[in-house]
Amino acid sequence: MLLQRARAVLVVIDLQVRLFPAITDGSFVLDRCCMLIDGANRFGVPVMVTEENPVGLGHSLPAIAERVPKAGVHTKMAFDAAAEPEFLRQFNALGRPQAVLCGTEAHVCVLQTAFGLRACGVDVFVVADAVGSRRVRDRDAALMRLGRDGIRIVTAEMAIFEWTETATDPAFRDMLKLVK
């Protein structure tokens, strides 16, 4: 199954100021998440951002906040964003059956949100190079478990080019610049 821009929602999970410094390869993860947001914005793919307990972990990193309208940011206390009624209501209101997940931490909030959305009938794609954890072994274990249990694992470039579809798309050159 390929990602389709008319069917997808990008969900950026918990890239927050107090958690981010502890994430292994955090700057790479952030770069990939920003690339996905920029691609989503170019293609009209809705972007939802979550913030886990922002009183304790702070708000989204500036690089995320400047790319997404405040209305797209959802506060949560549950690790699984789909367990938050308002998040799930707004996700479902978009009427799109695919969720593309990126952010932190891969083995906690990303993993639980992936399984939560899948339980709601959503086709879930986790972007392997755009998720992170404090420890590499936790991220790797999460990706292995997600893939084994039926969640689709993709890369940021896979998502961008699946949304682009053809080299004749007017956005093709923009996407080439974005991924380089």
- 76 tagged catalytic: yes
Closest CA to 44 of 4, 15, 74: 4
**3-class SS of residue 125:** strand
Residue type, 54: P
- Report how far residue 20's alpha carbon sits from residue 34's, in angstroms, rounded to the nearest whole number: 14
Among 34, 80, 109, 123, the active-site one is 109
To the query of whether residue 120 is one of the catalytic residues in this protein, the response is no
Instruction: From the candidates 33, 76, 80, 129, give the one annotated as an active-site residue.
Output: 76
Question: Is 31 assigned a catalytic role?
Answer: no
H-state helical runs in the chain: 26-43, 54-57, 62-65, 85-93, 111-119, 136-148, 156-164, 172-179
Backbone torsions φ then ψ of 125, nearest 5 degrees: -125, 125
Q: Known catalytic residues?
A: 14, 76, 109
